[in-house]
Structure 1
Amino acid sequence: MGMLNHGSGNPVSERKEGISRRKLLVSLGMAGAAAALSQTTLLEAGGAERPSVSHAVYGTGGQPGECCVTLTVSGLRASTEPYTLVYITDPGHEGWFHADANDSLSADNTGTVLVNTSGIRFKRHYGEAIHAKWFGAKGDGSTDDTGAIQSALDSVPAAGGTVYIADGVYRIDAVRELRPASNTTLLLSPGAVLKAIPNDKERFAVINIINKENVTVRGGTVVGERNEHLGTTGEWGMGISIRSSRNVTVCDTIVRDCWGDGIYLGTNDSQNPRVECEQIKIIRVTCENNRRQGMSVTACKGGIALASRFNKTNGTEPQSGIDLEPNGTVVVTDFAVIGCECNDNAGSGIGIYGTTDTNARNIILESNSCLHNTRGIQIRSASNNKVLFNNCSDNTDMGIRIAINTRSVITEHNDIMGNTAARNGGKGISVEGTATSRIRHNTISGNDCLNNAQEGIGVTYSQYTHVADNRSNGNLYGIRLVGTTSQFNDLSGNFCIENVYGIQLWQSSYNKITGNTCSENKQAGLWLRKESHHNELLSNTCIGNSQAAHNVYDNILVMENSGFNNLQLNTARKGNGAARAAYGIRIQSADCSDNLVANNDMLDGGETASYLDGGSGTTTLAGNRL
């Protein structure tokens, strides 16, 4: 019996004969051997972090050479023998293989299948995962590991499996891309980095999941090449691209420094008709310092971004943390963004943009942080969406914006509820239409709009807006309605305190202003200007306005051709501070005609007088208390 060696010389002479435990394994058959080997765990399969497979088979002290052949990969390939079990010794490739007499077709892939010169297929025994290093991935920061990792992905059985990437920096040719198959989990250790090799292309991705289902990417870091990119055009160099796929999860992964988006959800554009993604989950992901978007959702039916971060997007428009924007006539619907950070982006924290009248809908943005962006949250030409309990503060422009874009003039039935919009450089919450748009039936309720540079809540050229139970304090305007088509809006139960102006209507008619508190504002509490007519001002409380100058401004003021308004059941008091309002209710001039002032409580309403009627044709009934 010759001495056993490890891969040199004639492979036939390397076989160790007559070992009783080997005979025992042979007598058990491959099912028994596999049962013994199945004790290995995920990390044991790589031969590094946990006790060896030989330990599982033999117990303490067992060595591979005691029962079977030990060879290098090249030694096994050069052999002609149908070994029952072979232990491969190459560093990073260690593991057990057995001959599969029933397979004559599988290709040698270095990692899980080795073929010797006799054409015998040897199959690797492994537990929970296939290791990329088995296929030659180095992770040394200098080797192109694209082919090795793709080979590992290609080795996953059709029924499913996991590819594991250990700590290291793996350079990836993002033009070739990594493409997991269906039913695959790509598991990266916390110290694993997939780093894109610089290129000059406009379109590419480090990981591209296209027309697949049941795929998971978990852990590790994906790094783009925005700082080393060799071209100057294009904006579609993605970290992770998911197209026309369903049941895909990205979890606990960092994606940064991409030429385009960190994560992209869209369609396989070569399909006709194009197919949206479905049921996509983005969980505890960080997308940071990407050039175009943190994440774009351009075609998706059902999905969620949960407890993730989309921060510091900058470089080329739109530069948003998350952009939910259908690409053409496909849809984004039933998607939720919950508990995410979308901060410090050069564009919006989160944007919803429709490209038809109905293709961005049923989207929920809840409990997100949208701070230090240009705009916190934008909804443009999109309907039937909900923005709930978000913090949209300290943005350079607006906190929350509802508007239209150039592709659709309809924005309807959106609910903006329970949000905080504070210290923004523009408006806290803005509803912005045009004279020809259809921005209607939107609800703004229960929000805190505090210390914004312009309006706490601004409604322009919009109809049937329900603005209720908001706290709008410390702004230039608490609430402002503007535009000849700002009609049929309902403002009720709002607190507008310590603004420059409480509530103002400018060229805005046929609105109902009911049950609001407008007190201690610097100028007028409730103010109708510039041909605002046929409005109802009912049961509002206006106390102690004119804080900017004693006895100058009024609690309720009607001026500049504002006529046919109904002022009833309002309460006006001058206040008892050092600065007090001049009039409780004042109809300023004769061009304000045919207003009705009835049943108001103006007792002690102003420092100069409780009531001044400078209008024409005013109907003043005895029910007023002066």
Structure 2
Amino acid sequence: MQNKSMLILLLLLFVNCHPEEEEILDLNLFNKSETDETQRSEQANRLRVKNIKALRQLSLPDVKTRKEVTVLGFYEPGDGGGGVFTWNPISTEEDNGGTIISTVDLETGRWKRIYNDTINVKWFGAKGDGITDDTIEIQNALDIYGNIKFDYGIYIISKTLISIHSNRDIFSYDSAVLSLSDGALCEILILKNCENSTVRGLKFHGNSTKNRLDIGKFTVNDVDLGLSHSSALLKIKSCKNVKVENVQIEDSFIAPVVLENSINCKILNSISINHKREGFGIKGGQNCVIDNCHSESASPGLAWSLYFTSGIPGDKHKHNHVLSNNIAINAQAALMTINTTYTRVTGNVIKKTTPNHITSGPGIRLGHRQEYNSAENCLVDNNIISGITPDIPFGNDSGNRGISVDYGTGSVISNNSITDCNAGIGNTFSGDKTIYIIRNYIENVSSYGISVDYGQNSEIRENVLRNCSVGIRSRQKAGKIIKNKIKGFSIYGIGVFWGASEEIGGHEIRGNILENGMEGADYYRIDALSQQMFEGNVP
């Protein structure tokens, strides 16, 4: 009986001497069955603590005698913020809250997390619970060199995050979401002045139901927010060899992803839905690519372009950008390239499914109205375009074409399919420039199938046009209209206009086939032009 009382007393004393037993647990207590001397020696030098707070509060004897500490979580065991730390007795490095931890008792010496090259944002206290603002914690993680991992969760962001380190992979295997908080009218993440990095597997949410800009502006109540057409939830700025892959953007009040003044950067296999402004974009730079992406606007009256490239007005160096194999649904101008040269727009699918208005724009636009917004020596090839404002009156086609070219000197438009649109292919402001319109298929347009206004020496060759009000209209100097097939026109098949025979006398019009003109339609319509120019055409 006496022995039993003594045992109870010793147990009470043990509990009273360990007030933080809930946070600091000696692993030796859980390994009494171990017989291997090496394992027992290692376990004797390792402590297990509940969280980072407990790690900071380890007493001096524990710090001096333990080689490693296992931390079970940042706040609570199992929350993803835990890990193994080792003691460095001479370190005076700054405590960064995640990989380097100081103790409350010692100025010299740090606990250093054992890891390879990947940092988890939860190591720094990010919760990802959809409620807590995780901005500071994530920025602290980004400030450390290494790859950045986001576990599953919704991370609330209230201020733009900046990443400047090169050779970095920012990723999530679980489609983690970075969502702007209410009233946070800013970009979410900017990679700046870095190289050889990736962003993949993440979702970005703009919270546009709570974050709204003035209509058509980058202001709120006319207060300038410092945003612009190149602002984006995810921006790659002044970088080289950066790849954005498999990201998803929802409800953005600015562009989803933009490559700004960057070289050899790519946006691949990504999705943007329900955004209110511009789409995936390339601003300046060289050799950038947007490929195999899907972009859909919830507000076609506001979303000017779902994909765009633009540069500095007057900049004539070779940009060599590529927009390829993308899907675009609902916008004023689905794909637009201005102030860029040698851009390739290939293999894209463009469709409008919502009611459109006379203010709608083209499926693809090269250049924009002024010469300093030109798009020279570009290739537009093998795109599929449908539903570009098909129901507005004849003659209101300016800007409402499948493909529109404004100041597109040297550009080639070839092998595209354009159906159920107001107009097919046309240029309006090309001045004395030359473009090449070759082997396109155009069907069911309510206005002009192909219209070249102004310009010089442009070629319209081997195109197939069906059921257009007008097949081909040319108002240029010395153009070529060769081997086109036009069937089912209601106003005229081919028309050439300028107003003075000496200015248009150099036209070459041969080998065209015109069929099934509707009653009252002209096969050819000319303006002060000799009929002999149509020799060799059928009929």
TM-score normalised over the length of structure 2: 0.80
Task: Map residues 383-532 of structure 1 onto 2, 5 A cutoff.
Answer: 383-396=376-389, 397-404=400-407, 411-425=408-422, 427-433=423-429, 437-440=431-434, 442-482=435-475, 486-500=476-490, 501-507=492-498, 508-522=504-518, 523-524=520-521, 526-532=523-529
SS of the residue 1:109 aligns to? coil
Deviations 1:519-560 (Å, cap 9, x if unpaired)?
A: 221145641322235973232121xxxxxxxxxxxxxxxxxx
SS of the residue 1:263 aligns to? strand
Amino acid at match of 1:24: T
Amino acid at match of 1:195: S
Q: How far, CA to CA, are the matches of 1:138 and 1:6 in structure 2?
A: 30
Amino acid at match of 1:539: G
Amino acid at match of 1:401: S
TM-align CA RMSD: 3.0
Q: How far, CA to CA, are the matches of 1:455 and 1:6 in structure 2?
A: 87
Pick closer, same or farther for the CA change 1:367–1:454 going to 2, 3 Å. Answer: same
Q: How far, CA to CA, are the matches of 1:6 and 1:480 in structure 2?
A: 92
User: Matched residue pairs, number?
Assistant: 470
Amino acid at match of 2:493: G
Q: How far, CA to CA, are the matches of 1:11 and 1:226 in structure 2?
A: 42
> Paired residue for 1:376?
363
1:70 aligns with 2:84: no
Q: How far, CA to CA, are the matches of 2:243 and 2:35 in structure 1?
A: 45
Q: How far, CA to CA, are the matches of 2:382 and 2:532 in structure 1?
A: 31
Q: How far, CA to CA, are the matches of 2:188 and 2:101 in structure 1?
A: 28
Q: Is the contact made by 1:298 and 1:332 (CA closer than 8 Å) also made in structure 2?
A: no
Q: Is the contact made by 1:262 and 1:295 (CA closer than 8 Å) also made in structure 2?
A: yes
1:94 aligns with 2:82: yes
Task: Map residues 233-248 of structure 1 onto 2, 5 A cutoff.
Answer: 234=218, 236=228, 238-248=232-242
Q: Is the contact made by 1:342 and 1:349 (CA closer than 8 Å) also made in structure 2?
A: yes
Task: Map residues 268-287 of structure 1 onto 2, 5 A cutoff.
Answer: 276-287=261-272
Pick closer, same or farther for the CA change 1:105–1:120 going to 2, 3 Å. Answer: closer
> Paired residue for 1:541?
538
Amino acid at match of 2:376: S
SS of the residue 2:142 aligns to? helix
Pick closer, same or farther for the CA change 1:328–1:227 going to 2, 3 Å. Answer: farther
SS of the residue 2:326 aligns to? coil
Amino acid at match of 2:197: V
Q: Is the contact made by 2:119 and 2:147 (CA closer than 8 Å) also made in structure 1?
A: yes
Q: Is the contact made by 1:324 and 1:332 (CA closer than 8 Å) also made in structure 2?
A: no
Q: How far, CA to CA, are the matches of 1:23 and 1:453 in structure 2?
A: 88
Q: How far, CA to CA, are the matches of 2:36 and 2:405 in structure 1?
A: 74
Task: Map residues 114-513 of structure 1 onto 2, 5 A cutoff.
Answer: 114-116=101-103, 117-118=105-106, 119-127=108-116, 129-156=118-145, 161-174=146-159, 176-199=160-183, 204-229=186-211, 232=214, 234=218, 236=228, 238-266=232-260, 276-312=261-297, 314=299, 319-328=304-313, 333-345=319-331, 347-354=332-339, 360-372=340-352, 374-380=361-367, 381-396=374-389, 397-404=400-407, 411-425=408-422, 427-433=423-429, 437-440=431-434, 442-482=435-475, 486-500=476-490, 501-507=492-498, 508-513=504-509
Q: Alpha-carbon deviation of 1:9?
A: 5.7
SS of the residue 2:456 aligns to? coil
Q: How far, CA to CA, are the matches of 1:89 and 1:181 in structure 2?
A: 29
Sequence identity (%): 22
Q: Alpha-carbon deviation of 1:70?
A: 0.6
> Paired residue for 2:222?
none
SS of the residue 1:278 aligns to? coil
Q: How far, CA to CA, are the matches of 1:518 and 1:113 in structure 2?
A: 78
Q: How far, CA to CA, are the matches of 2:143 and 2:19 in structure 1?
A: 28
> Paired residue for 2:96?
109
Q: Alpha-carbon deviation of 1:392?
A: 1.5
> Paired residue for 2:395?
none
Q: How far, CA to CA, are the matches of 2:425 and 2:143 in structure 1?
A: 50
Q: Is the contact made by 2:253 and 2:277 (CA closer than 8 Å) also made in structure 1?
A: yes
Pick closer, same or farther for the CA change 1:240–1:221 going to 2, 3 Å. Answer: same
Amino acid at match of 1:144: D
Q: How far, CA to CA, are the matches of 2:161 and 2:275 in structure 1?
A: 18
SS of the residue 2:376 aligns to? coil
Q: Which runs of 5+ in 1 are unaligned?
A: 29-64, 267-275, 355-359, 405-410, 543-626
Q: Is the contact made by 1:7 and 1:74 (CA closer than 8 Å) also made in structure 2?
A: no
TM-score normalised over the length of structure 1: 0.69
> Paired residue for 1:608?
none
SS of the residue 1:205 aligns to? coil
Amino acid at match of 1:323: F
Q: Is the contact made by 1:7 and 1:75 (CA closer than 8 Å) also made in structure 2?
A: no
Q: How far, CA to CA, are the matches of 2:351 and 2:471 in structure 1?
A: 21
Q: Greater Rg, structure 1 or structure 2?
A: 1
Q: Alpha-carbon deviation of 1:13?
A: 9.2
Q: How far, CA to CA, are the matches of 1:402 and 1:535 in structure 2?
A: 30
Q: Alpha-carbon deviation of 1:148?
A: 1.0
Deviations 1:228-276 (Å, cap 9, x if unpaired)?
A: 126635154521112111111111001122222111222xxxxxxxxx3
Amino acid at match of 2:328: C
Deviations 1:261-295 (Å, cap 9, x if unpaired)?
A: 111222xxxxxxxxx31111101111222222012
Q: Alpha-carbon deviation of 1:14?
A: 4.7
Q: How far, CA to CA, are the matches of 1:309 and 1:13 in structure 2?
A: 52
Pick closer, same or farther for the CA change 1:219–1:514 going to 2, 3 Å. Answer: same
Q: Which runs of 5+ in 2 are unaligned?
A: 1-9, 219-226, 353-359, 368-373, 390-399, 499-503
Q: How far, CA to CA, are the matches of 1:292 and 1:327 in structure 2?
A: 21
| Bigger relative contact order, structure 1 or 2 (CA pairs below 8 A, ≥6 apart) | 2
Q: How far, CA to CA, are the matches of 1:200 and 1:125 in structure 2?
A: 36
Pick closer, same or farther for the CA change 1:243–1:533 going to 2, 3 Å. Answer: farther
Q: Is the contact made by 1:22 and 1:67 (CA closer than 8 Å) also made in structure 2?
A: no
Q: Alpha-carbon deviation of 1:439?
A: 2.5
Q: How far, CA to CA, are the matches of 2:474 and 2:487 in structure 1?
A: 17
1:85 aligns with 2:68: yes
Q: Alpha-carbon deviation of 1:320?
A: 0.5
Q: Is the contact made by 1:511 and 1:534 (CA closer than 8 Å) also made in structure 2?
A: no
SS of the residue 1:428 aligns to? strand
Q: How far, CA to CA, are the matches of 1:114 and 1:471 in structure 2?
A: 71
Q: Alpha-carbon deviation of 1:181?
A: 2.3
SS of the residue 1:141 aligns to? strand
Amino acid at match of 1:71: V
Amino acid at match of 2:414: M
Pick closer, same or farther for the CA change 1:445–1:6 going to 2, 3 Å. Answer: farther
Q: Is the contact made by 2:26 and 2:46 (CA closer than 8 Å) also made in structure 1?
A: no
